[in-house]
């Protein structure tokens, strides 16, 4: 068992999975070497992002799948109405190709990679701002419907932090939004989190140093927002 576990990327697994599943496994609990690997993984989760980057061992390096070449997806858009089509650019082959269409027309959506799938969140279908979600599995080339958000949002920002998917700001058809919500895969539901201090549509959202940042956007008055809202997930 220790020989096998030495090659398992335990530090990259969610901490709750380590506690609830791995730590409860008798094959791990009854072997000192296996427990050392588990302790190493738990210590990794306690480190700051900066210190994690310094922990350069094989078990903390994400694996690059050989069967999945690096690619870029362009999801939906307007031509001139909202469309369902999706294109994929293969960096290795240096070419674009069509992949399966989304289940619904969608432009101005939030797009993020989460749990091995590409998620298209909210957007505008040509008539209404929507709260629906489509997710794409590149292994099967199929789109399936995901759980709908609580609010209708277009021109929103989307990002992943601590194994949760966040939808931030946007436009509901009448005004810019300062609200945000998070999708928890454990409950398979979206829930609201504390709002931002400023309404932001067309907002850029990114994760840095374990925090979620909302950058720029449009507040309904100013053409450009220069301010940055940070730590959205903890408020």
DSSP 177-203: ---EEEEETTTTEEEEEPPPSS--BS-
Residues 45 and 79 in one domain: no
User: What number of residues does the chain have?
Assistant: 235
Integer Cα distance of 22 and 47 in angstroms? 20
Residues 76 and 153 in one domain: yes
Residues 154 and 176 in one domain: yes
Residues 33 and 82 in one domain: no
pLDDT at residue number 68: 59
Question: Last residue of some domain: 18, 34, 60?
Answer: 60
Residues 166 and 127 in one domain: yes
Q: How many beta carbons lie within 10 A of that of residue 34, not counting itself?
A: 20
pLDDT at residue number 232: 54
> Domain containing 147 — which CATH number?
2.120.10.80
232-226-220-218 Cα dihedral, nearest 10 degrees: -70
Which mean pLDDT values do the consecutive 10-residue runs of the chain (235 residues) have? 86 89 89 91 87 81 68 93 95 90 96 95 96 94 96 97 96 94 96 93 91 89 61 50
Integer Cα distance of 119 and 138 in angstroms? 11
**66 inside domain:** no
- Bridge-based pairing of strands 110-114 and 95-99 is unpaired
The structural domain count of the chain equals 2
Answer for the pair 8, 34: CB distance below 8 angstroms, yes or no: no
Question: Last residue of some domain: 11, 36, 60?
Answer: 60
Residues 47 and 84 in one domain: no
**214 inside domain:** yes
Q: Residue 219 phi/psi, 5° resolution?
A: -100, 5
Instruction: Lay out the sheet containing 211-215: strands in order across.
Output: 204-208, 211-215, 228-229
Predicted structure pTM score? 0.69
pLDDT at residue number 230: 60
Residues 87 and 53 in one domain: no
> Domain range for residue 83?
71-234
Residues 75 and 187 in one domain: yes
Find tokens 């609830």 and name the residue. Answer: 20
Reading phi first (left if > 0) and then psi (alpha if -120 to 50, else beta), residue 141 is in left
pLDDT at residue number 221: 78
Residues 222 and 120 in one domain: yes
* Residue closest to 10 by CA, chosen among 30, 36, 47, 29: 36
């Amino acid at each position: 068992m220790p020989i096998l576990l030495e090659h398992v990327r335990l530090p990259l697994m969610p901490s709750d999975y380590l506690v609830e599943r791995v730590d409860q496994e008798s094959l791990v609990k009854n072997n000192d070497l296996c427990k050392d690997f588990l302790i190493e993984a738990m210590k990794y989760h306690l480190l700051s992002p900066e210190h994690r980057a310094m922990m350069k061992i094989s078990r903390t390096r994400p694996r690059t799948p050989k069967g999945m070449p690096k690619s870029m997806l362009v999801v939906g858009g307007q031509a001139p109405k909202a469309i369902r089509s999706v294109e994929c650019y293969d960096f290795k082959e240096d070419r674009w190709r069509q992949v399966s269409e989304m289940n619904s027309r969608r432009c101005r959506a939030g797009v993020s990679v989460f749990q091995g799938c590409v998620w298209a969140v909210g957007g505008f279908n040509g008539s209404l701002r929507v709260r629906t979600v489509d997710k794409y599995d590149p292994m099967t080339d199929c789109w399936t419907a995901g759980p709908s958000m609580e609010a209708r949002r277009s021109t929103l920002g989307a990002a992943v932090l601590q194994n949760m998917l966040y939808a931030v700001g946007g436009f509901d058809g009448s005004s810019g939004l300062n609200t945000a919500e998070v999708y928890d895969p454990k409950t398979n539901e979206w829930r609201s989190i504390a709002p931002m201090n400023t309404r932001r549509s067309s907002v850029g959202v990114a994760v840095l140093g374990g925090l979620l940042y909302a950058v720029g956007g449009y507040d309904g008055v100013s053409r450009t927002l220069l301010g940055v809202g940070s730590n959205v997930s903890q408020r």
